[in-house]
Chain A
Amino acid sequence: MLLNQFLLLGAVLFCTGVYGVLARRNAVLVLMSIELILNAVNINLLAFGAMHGEAAAVASQVFALFVITVAAAEVGVGLAIVLLIYRNRTSVDLDQVDLMRG
C-alpha cells in the first residue's frame, strides 16, 4: 500500500470538514464537520506511524488516542455552548450569532 493513499484520503476528509465548517448554518452540523477534520488528522498520524517503524507506530497510536480524547472533550464543551446559544436565542443558526459585527 502506498503512504499517499492514506494521506490523500485524509486530505479529502479534511477539506470536506472545512467545507462543512464554512458552509453549514446549524451549529451542531459544524461540530460534526470538526469531527471529520479531527479524523483526517488521525488517519495522517497513523499512516505516518505505520511508515516509520515500531516506535513511531506506538507513538502515533498514543497520539491518536489523545486526539480522540480531546475530540470528546471538545464535543462536550461545544454542545454545552450550543445549548447555551439555543437557550438565549432559541436558535442555533450561526448567521444570527453576529455580536462581533463591526
Chain B
Amino acid sequence: MVAQNIAFGVLAAATSLAAIRVVTTRNVVHAALYLVVVLASVGALYILLTAEFVAAVQILVYVGAIVVLLLFGVMLTKATLGEDDQLDNDQRWLGAVIALFLLGTLSFVLVDAFGDDKLPSLEGVSRATLEAQRGSGAVGDAIFSTFLVPFEVVSVLLLAALVGAIVLARRD
C-alpha cells in the first residue's frame, strides 16, 4: 500500500511539473520532450490503476507516434529552435487566472463529492484472477463483443482522419 502511494507521489509530481513545463517553456522542442515525460508518467499511473494494456498503448501511440508527429510539425513549420520569447500571447495572465479558477472549482467539487472514497483494495486477489477480470484478454473480448459497433465507428473515424489529413496537407 505504501509502495503504491510513494509511486503515485513520484509519478504525480513528475506529471504535474512536466505538464507545467510543457505550457511554460520557451523552447518548442523542449516542450515536446517534456510532453514525453508527462505521457510516460501517465502511462505508469495507468499501471497503478491496473490498466496495463492501456498503459502499453499509451507508450506506443502517444510517446511513439504522436510526439514524433508533433516534432515533425515543429520541424515542418520552421519553428525557432532554442529560446523564443514570442511563444506566449498577451493574454497569458487571463489564461492563468481562468485555469487556476477552474482548478479551484474542480478541486472543491471533487473533494466535496468524493472526499475520502478509497479505491477497492486488490490485496489477496490472485494475479490470475485479476488478469482474467480486467487484463488485456478481458479488454479484447469487450472490444469485439460489447463495444464492437463503437469500435467499428472509431475505425471509420480513423480512416476519415487519414483521408482528411492527406487532402488537407497535400500540395496541388
In the complex, what distance in Å separates the CA atom of A19 from the CA atom of B99? 6
Most B CB contacts (10 A, CB to CB) among A13, A16, A33 go to: A16
A58 near B107 with CB under 8 A, answer no
Instruction: Determine which of B19, B46, B74 lies in contact with A28 in the assembled complex, contact meaning CB atoms within 8 Å.
Output: B74
- Residues from chain B with Cβ under 8 Å of A71 in the complex: 61-62, 66
Contacts A3-B119, A72-B61 given; does A14 touch B106 at CB 8 Å: yes
Chain A residue total in the interface (Cβ 8 A): 73
Contacts A49-B49, A54-B133, A65-B139 given; does A1 touch B87 at CB 8 Å: no
Contacts A1-B5, A77-B168, A83-B73 given; does A58 touch B138 at CB 8 Å: yes
B134 near A75 with CB under 8 A, answer no
In the complex, what distance in Å separates the CA atom of A22 from the CA atom of B96? 9
- Identify the B interface with A (CB < 8 A): 1, 4-5, 8, 12, 15-16, 19-20, 22-23, 28, 31-32, 35, 38-39, 42, 45-46, 48-51, 53-54, 57-58, 61-62, 65-66, 69-70, 72-74, 76-79, 86-89, 91-92, 94-96, 98-100, 102-103, 106-107, 110-111, 114-120, 133-134, 138-139, 142-143, 146-147, 150-151, 154, 157-158, 160-162, 164-166, 168-169, 171
- Identify the A interface with B (CB < 8 A): 1-9, 11-20, 22-29, 31-33, 35-36, 39, 42-43, 46-47, 49-51, 53-54, 57-62, 64-66, 68-77, 79-84, 86-87, 92-95
